[in-house]
Amino acid sequence: MSVLAVILLLAVLIFVHELGHFLAARLQGIYANRFSIGFGPILFKYQGEQTEYALRALPLGGFVGFPDDDPDSTIPPDDPNLLKNRPVLDRAIVISAGVIANLIFAYFVLVAQLAFVGVPTVAYNPGVIVPQAIAQDVAAQAGIQDGDLIVAINGKSLGASEAAMNTLRQTIESSPGQSLQLSIERQGQPVTVNVTPKDDNGKGKIGVKLQPNFKVERKHPNNPIEVFTMAANEFQRIVVLTVQGFGQLISNFSNTANQVAGPVAIVATGAKIAQNDFASLFNFTALISINLAVINILPLPALDGGQLAFLLVEGIRGKPVPSGIQDGVMQTGLMLLLGLGVFLIIRDTVNLIPQ
């Protein structure tokens, strides 16, 4: 169910994006003859008075179609309500409306999270959890077991804070070959274990994975003003981090390209979040919606930003870029985009298969 929930969530985000384009056109009286979620063969369609609404087989996006270049259209080519006959500003509003819709949607998702779910806050408990003691390594041989809670080292309490795990790790790493006494709670009972870290290039290691001992609590804002204010702050934080992330990806592409996630990886991550804490899907939804907006505003062919770049050139030149050039660039960009999407789907699917 969690996978289906995330797939539905992504479909909603695509719908919101395309609905932004569609409404921006229709509210200005501009003709829009197609509203499609997905690409490729049509699975379902409904013919409205002016628009064909369709669900297609490849769920890699969507589009709003305009009758400007439709050879079957009966609308005169000089009709002022065709998109191509509108001023640059009108067209820019239509093209940018998808990005704006995703940003607005993300903000109100955060508002809903704060109003109905609350603000996630971390409450630390004493000690550090050992989720896994590696078999046959130092810790396991000394008697440390999976699930142990280390509360003190050499008689010094680790306390209940974010720094507890770093304190434990640094003490172990700085003590190669030295015996350390660990005070442990195991199923509510106190246990003492002596362990001697092995020397690994000058650092002590005992062969355990560590995990902070905390739980997430949710607190509700005190009033509606606080809800909208906190949502705005969180929205700004996510936007800044997203833009910075894309900046790092572009400036250091060779080292960060493997971090690019496709639809399969996004669904897998979302499903894991939904399985562990369904309420966290609010923040995940806002994050993906903002990412979708930022990606689409990039000045790349086949994206909204690429079309806005052509409009900018038209505004400067006083006449549009020749349609042959625009069509060639957009079609090439679309093929590259679909190819990248297929590559990411295959790569991420292979990565999910147990080795």
CA distance 178 to 192: 16
> Catalytic site residue 18?
yes
**Number of residues assigned to the chain:** 355
3-class DSSP assignment, residue 302: coil
| Token reading at 318 | 């006083």
Q: How many helices (H) and strands (E) does the chain have?
A: 10, 10
Q: Give the count of alpha carbons within 13 A of 261, CB side only.
A: 13
CA distance 100 to 21: 9
What are the two backbone dihedrals, phi and then psi, of residue 254, each rounded to the nearest 5 degrees? Answer: -60, -30
3-class DSSP assignment, residue 153: strand
CA 133 vs CA 26, 67, 102: distances in Å: 62, 64, 44
Q: Are 289 and 105 in contact (CB under 8 A)?
A: yes
Residue in 18, 52, 217, 234 annotated catalytic: 18
3-class DSSP assignment, residue 148: strand
CA distance 9 to 106: 12
Task: Match 């006494």 to its residue by tokens.
Answer: 181
CA 345 vs CA 9, 205, 342, 349: distances in Å: 18, 38, 5, 6
Q: Where in the sequence numbering do the catalytic residues fall?
A: 18
